Amino acid sequence: MKFVPTIGLEIHAELKTASKMFCSCRNNPDEETPNANICPICLGHPGTLPILNTQAIKHVLKIGIAVDGTLADFTEWDRKNYFYPDIPKGYQISQYKYPLVSGGQLAGVKIERVHLEEDTAQSTHDTHEKSLVNFNRSGVPLMELVTEPVIHDSASAVRFAKELQLLLRELGAGEANMEKGEMRVEANISVSSPEDMEARRFGTKTEVKNLNSFRSVERAVEFEIARQIKLIERGEKVVQETRGWDDAASETYSQRSKESSHDYRYFPDPDIPKLKISLIPEFSREALAKELPELPAARRDRFKDVFSMTDKEAAVFAESTPLSNYFESIVSAYTNDPKRVKLTTNYLLSDYLGLLKKESIDADAASERISHAAFAGLVNMIAAGEISSRGAKDLLTLMMQEKGASPRSLAEKNNLLQKSDASDISPAIDKVIADNAKVVAEYKAGKTASIQFLIGQAMKATKGAANPEVVRKILAEKLG
């Protein structure tokens, strides 16, 4: 029997702000000294009063606009009560009934809600049977996004998470490195028979945590789908529970039975002001929309549309604003020339990015070494046939080394220009004609494709230095 998997994601992301969610401690994810950025508020001392971080609220509202969700008119914060050493005050401040954002979609996946909460401290269990708690992360603004259960395969789950990471970075809302725990994905997974699916009856779900890379999201979802199908086929039941992902063993394992929301005894936090969002000018949709950059999806569409890029090409640019800006500065000189736009795309994505990777140069530093005008100069030389593709590669390397040098003078100095002067090439062509009488005869008898062979011979004779277009022209003339 065939089963239909259903997946819904819950994604937490630490937000980039100067200070924490409810106090003025620094929000520094790279802080190495434990408990360096702490105060009575983020330690959860009784009697302290939280103060709202407007930057964090703005980040979430902007994400809401970017995913075309509904921004809350009214919002409040709730206490989510539970006991754990990393949350000494006995509750986490979160949003329950009134999330900042409801609805929306990203990468074709419907979003249920996006809300704001505080991150918890971090516990480590050391080798001397001691547990240590580091409060640097305690109270860091944390956004939680919940999708609808509308994903049906692991690849789409990963695509969604990657798109969210890209969006957070583009908005400056967070770095969202999964490996650093700045973005944490939890996958809810169930399987149902096609008939149940038809009747909109989902199977029992499990929730998988500890996914700290896109790769583990993909593998864990696949493992869990297979595990659940096996259980059902054996006549057993899927137990609703929270499971962990063991990357080394490549399997999920049972952690605890799933708690439900009423276990947390949510209630509105009496110490935090409720917000009437619509009364606060800096939170208005119009004001925030003005601050939004071009979003990755919009840029992908525009680059495909305006510059005739493939999906793959546009995707690379959507991932890098510095590279996109560089590209646009280069082609601004010749937007109406599709040939040179295409050459620019090709040379940037293959040779240029390859070079950056090989020499570990980032896109910003690279565009300082080769100005956009110099890159455009290189493309002009390629388009005019003044330099071969081999020569262009070498020239690009030289340009990267000699900051600010003009491509033409570098090409001349290093003998990279193709010979386009008839007087330089003619003798070689005469020899090719004399040495290949048979092919020449074929050509003259109407087999025009034979010219290709003769061009090849002439290129060989000039050791690749001749401009093939000029060779073709002279050959055609000489052969009449």
Segment lying near ligand ADP (by CB under 6 A), choices 144-152, 168-176, 213-221, 384-392: 144-152
CB of 207 to ligand ADP, least distance (A): 7
Q: Binding residue for ligand ADP (CB under 6 A) from 149, 181, 244, 268?
A: 149
Dist. CA 284–CA 92, nearest whole Å? 27
- One-letter identity of residue 82: Y
How far apart, in whole angstroms, are the C-alpha atoms of residue 25 and residue 23? 6
- Our CB check for Zn ion shows the closer of 38 and 288 to be 38
The minimum distance between CB 375 and ligand ADP, in angstroms, equals 45
25 binds, among ligand ADP, Zn ion, none (CB under 5 to 8 A by kind): Zn ion
Instruction: Work out whether 462 is an interface residue with ligand ADP (CB under 6 A).
Output: no
Residues of span 384-443 touching ligand ADP by CB under 6 A = none
Interface with ligand ADP (CB under 6 A), residue from 183, 189, 440, 461:
189
CB 370 within 8 A of CB 399: yes
Toward Zn ion, which CB reaches closer, 23 or 395? 23
Q: How far is the CB of 54 from ligand ADP (least distance, A)?
A: 28
Closer Cβ to Zn ion, 41 or 470, answer by number: 41
Window 246-265: contact mask with ligand ADP (x via CB under 6 A): ---------------x----
Grouping H, G, I as helix, E, B as strand and the rest as coil, residue 417 is: coil
Q: Report strand pairing: 206-211 vs 241-246.
A: parallel
Q: Which residues contact 385 (CB under 8 A, 6 or more apart)?
A: 418, 420, 467, 468, 469, 470
Q: Which does 288 bind (CB under 5 to 8 A by kind): ligand ADP, Zn ion, none?
A: none
Among 39, 51, 52, 146, binds ligand ADP (CB under 6 A): 146
Distance, in Å, from the CA atom of 88 to the CA atom of 155, rounded to the nearest integer, reads: 38
Task: Give the range of 34-42, 121-129, 168-176, 185-193 binding ligand ADP by CB under 6 A.
Answer: 185-193
Give one word for 57, left, alpha or beta, with left for phi > 0 and alpha for psi -120 to 50.
alpha
Q: In the bound complex, what is the minimum distance in angstroms from residue 272's beta carbon to ligand ADP? A: 23
Cα–Cα distance measured from residue 456 to residue 450, given in angstroms and rounded to the nearest whole number: 10
| Options 19, 92, 165, 190; binder of ligand ADP; rule CB under 6 A | 190
Residue 178 interacts with ligand ADP (CB under 6 A)? no
**Which residue, 54 or 401, is less far from Zn ion as judged by CB?**
54
Q: What's the rounded Cα separation, in Å, for the pair 301 and 99?
A: 30
In the complex with ligand ADP, the residue whose CB is nearer, 19 or 147, is 147
Q: Indicate the residue among 118 and 386 with the shorter CB distance to Zn ion.
A: 118
Shortest distance, position 138 Cβ to ligand ADP, whole Å: 23
Rounded CA separation 139/193 (Å): 43
* Cβ-proximal residues to 25 (8 Å cutoff; 6+ apart), any chain: 19, 37, 38, 39, 41, 42, 139
Nearer to ligand ADP, 81 or 346 (CB): 81
Strands (E), 30-151: 70-71, 74-75, 78-81, 91-94, 101-102, 105-106, 109-118, 122-125, 131-134, 141-147
56 binds ligand ADP (CB under 6 A): no
By CB under 6 A, is residue 52 in contact with ligand ADP?
no
Q: Is 250 left (phi over 0), alpha (psi -120 to 50) or beta?
A: left
- Would you call 449 helix, strand, or coil by DSSP? helix
Which residues in this chain contact Zn ion in the complex, by CB under 5 A? 23, 25, 39, 41-42
- 183 near ligand ADP, judged by CB under 6 A: no
Which window, 186-194, 230-238, 374-382, 439-447, contacts ligand ADP (CB under 6 A)? 186-194
Q: Which stretch binds ligand ADP (CB under 6 A): 46-54, 147-155, 301-309, 324-332?
A: 147-155
Distance of CA 297 to the CA centre of its chain: 11
Among 205, 300, 340, 372, binds ligand ADP (CB under 6 A): 205
- Name the one residue in this structure whose structure tokens are 């093939």: 468
Give min distance, CB of 190 to ligand ADP, in A: 3
Which H/E stretch holds residue 397? helix 389-401
- Give yes or no for a contact between 217 and 233, defined as CB atoms under 8 angstroms apart: no
- In terms of C-beta density within 10 A (0-12 exposed, 13-18 middle, 19 or more buried), how is residue 281 classed? exposed
Residues facing residue 146 across a β-bridge: 10, 113
- Beta carbon of residue 260, minimum distance to ligand ADP (angstroms, whole number): 6
- Footprint of ligand ADP on this chain (CB under 6 A)? 6-10, 146-149, 188-190, 202, 205, 261
